Structure 1
């Protein structure tokens, strides 16, 4: 079963059973999430002599999807289950493939033609965007799977002219610069996050307007520090707020990935409680990550009206500033895997090979305050 097929099951809330044969710590840290998934975690080395002892723990009325890190172990276990008379399949490419799969969802139309699309990296929680208008496209917060964006632009017969990152990412490797180079487009990055980068870029500054297409679809940059010192949000077509890693559907951004939580928590509050409060409440918030599978809408997209988040998101409703500071700095999850190396890669300081990049990104995203 491909990662795409599994993603469709998750989005459709299908009921299915997963036998995960990775080590217990890997399973506890990160697994395929879904509202109607049942799990059994038995490490592969415990199954080398056969699967007979676990058959009574597996369902007989549905297929079993066997999952491992890369694929090989799951094939072996799935074959043993088949020999025992059970219906079984394995995840093609393992959790590495699950980490890299992007599901493309149309978020909505633009006023003068065109549309905005969301690329949901369902196994990692990353969200990227493509704004399309009159034969041109802009991409925001692209992942390193650059072919997905290039191929989709070709399908739509549009030219990618601008590629933007809302901030210097620390949990995944950006594909923005590589896409811009491939299409001879402009790569944009907040200058306060780019003080150590080794490449040329166009500075994203407050109030900067980037036009996509002849229909004048504007992407207006709003300086919104807190997750990083340079974090920048975008308003697209007066209808969509691309919030980067500042505001999520069920949480808010963490301010500590550069080791400056105490310094940046004030900026985070200023952005969320002042700058964002001045924006129209009917803006549709499109974040750069989601934290839990329940944040997905029925079509697999991740979005919510800003006014709804003001009412329901706990991180936006803490009146006392000291309580807010304590909530943020006291509820920080573990740092993302290899986040320092990921930051250095996104600065252009190191250039790890593709397999190393995969290993650096393995695991869940951890960009939010719990």
Structure 2
């Protein structure tokens, strides 16, 4: 059956909005099954099936009975080329609402969606940038025309757009720790805006560039708002959390909504378990339970709020997060050293990039980051 209908495409930005809005979606992923099993688009109301491109070169007859007749079909591949071919094949079978996802999973991995978390007490706001394809979370705090960004991703344009839109002067750029699962854009963003770039010194022993230290108890003014640093080791030896406006607790990769941070990405699992336990079971316990926890990552779509944001009150996490309810120290040690997912892709190369030791080309940086984040204990 032929068709003259032009192929329709959808941007990852528009697809992300549909996922965040929990729309009913059907996705055909044409990557190799091993890549699909490792990492795929997920959502509350998403049905996603996998049929590798190489199996569809001669036609789509093998999957016709799996394709819905009465809803849109979104076809995705690794980079956006194979999905166009497959989408056209499906349209030739009489399906009309078929879309190829522009840029494929590579583009999906790089999309950042800004979501307003809330207002600050003396004016200003805090925004969360959700990197929906990788589970990375970063933050913009703005008050009185001044701004700070925490845990910047390497894709800078979404931050630049917000800075321009709200007429913000960026003064502080901070990383909670030396990241191992994604490349930090913090130093580059700070240089572009003549802002200060900060890093915990215990994570910076091998960095090749100048930076400003983040030490326990340091305070950073952003307009009328204060960001206070709290040393919270365990994921790394330098991991530092931030309390913003006495309302929000940015936990980096120490505490997530549904899990806790892993201590092994620098090869120090056994050494850092005690630090991790002290942070989670003592340091954080001293903080106000009504602080809204804003982590640097999330693991799954089940952690997403109705508006697409990722957050929960600290007191609720002490009631619900299994990683915060392991009273026996030996059991805790076993949990965080034995229940670990595979290391993040290219994690050592990413660490060295964030130290300034290597400077990969942009395409290589993309390849290094492909795949899910794996910063949590299972």
TM-score tier (shorter):
over 0.9
1:118 aligns with 2:139: no
Residues 99-127 of structure 1 show CA distances to partners (whole Å, capped at 9, x for unaligned) of 00011000000010000000000010000
Aligned runs of 1:173-188 on 2, under 5 Å? 173-188=183-198
Give the TM-score normalised by structure 1: 0.99
Alignment-derived partner of residue 68 in structure 2: 59
Partner Cα distance (1:354, 1:223) in 2:
33
Alignment-derived partner of residue 90 in structure 2: 81
Instruction: Give the 3-state SS of the residue equivalent to 1:55 in structure 2.
Output: helix
Q: Which moved more, 1:300-309 or 1:53-62?
A: 53-62
1:94 aligns with 2:71: no
Instruction: Give the 3-state SS of the residue equivalent to 1:358 in structure 2.
Output: helix
Alignment-derived partner of residue 365 in structure 2: 357
Alignment-derived partner of residue 337 in structure 2: 329
Of 68, 72, 96, the residue aligned with 2:81 is 72
Unaligned runs of 5+ in 1: none
Alignment-derived partner of residue 217 in structure 2: 207
Residues 265-293 of structure 1 show CA distances to partners (whole Å, capped at 9, x for unaligned) of 11000000000000000000000000011
Residues 62-118 of structure 1 show CA distances to partners (whole Å, capped at 9, x for unaligned) of 111111000000000001111111131111110011000011000000010000000
Of 252, 257, 260, the residue aligned with 1:249 is 257
Aligned pair count reads 368
Alignment-derived partner of residue 4 in structure 2: none
Alignment-derived partner of residue 56 in structure 2: 47
| 1:47, distance to aligned residue in structure 2 (A) | 0.7
Give the CA RMSD over aligned residues: 0.6
1:342 aligns with 2:357: no
1:104 aligns with 2:114: yes
Partner Cα distance (1:317, 1:52) in 2:
51
Of 141, 146, 155, the residue aligned with 1:145 is 155
| 1:15, distance to aligned residue in structure 2 (A) | 1.1
Alignment-derived partner of residue 282 in structure 2: 274
Deviation beyond 3 Å, 4+ runs, structure 1: none
Partner Cα distance (2:252, 2:203) in 1:
14
Partner Cα distance (2:78, 2:93) in 1:
23
Of 2, 16, 29, the residue aligned with 2:38 is 29
Partner Cα distance (1:249, 1:39) in 2:
25
| 1:53, distance to aligned residue in structure 2 (A) | 2.5
Alignment-derived partner of residue 140 in structure 2: 130
Partner Cα distance (2:70, 2:25) in 1:
10
Partner Cα distance (1:326, 1:265) in 2:
9
| 1:161, distance to aligned residue in structure 2 (A) | 0.5
Alignment-derived partner of residue 24 in structure 2: 15
Partner Cα distance (2:363, 2:239) in 1:
29
Instruction: Give the 3-state SS of the residue equivalent to 2:137 in structure 1.
Output: strand
1:293 aligns with 2:274: no
Partner Cα distance (1:203, 1:290) in 2:
27
Partner Cα distance (1:317, 1:352) in 2:
41
Of 258, 269, 284, the residue aligned with 1:261 is 269
| 1:170, distance to aligned residue in structure 2 (A) | 0.1
Of 3, 14, 21, the residue aligned with 2:12 is 3
| 1:52, distance to aligned residue in structure 2 (A) | 2.1
Residues 115-144 of structure 1 show CA distances to partners (whole Å, capped at 9, x for unaligned) of 000000001000000000001000000000
Alignment-derived partner of residue 5 in structure 2: none
Partner Cα distance (1:247, 1:4) in 2:
28
Instruction: Give the 3-state SS of the residue equivalent to 1:6 in structure 2.
Output: helix
Instruction: Give the 3-state SS of the residue equivalent to 2:284 in structure 1.
Output: helix
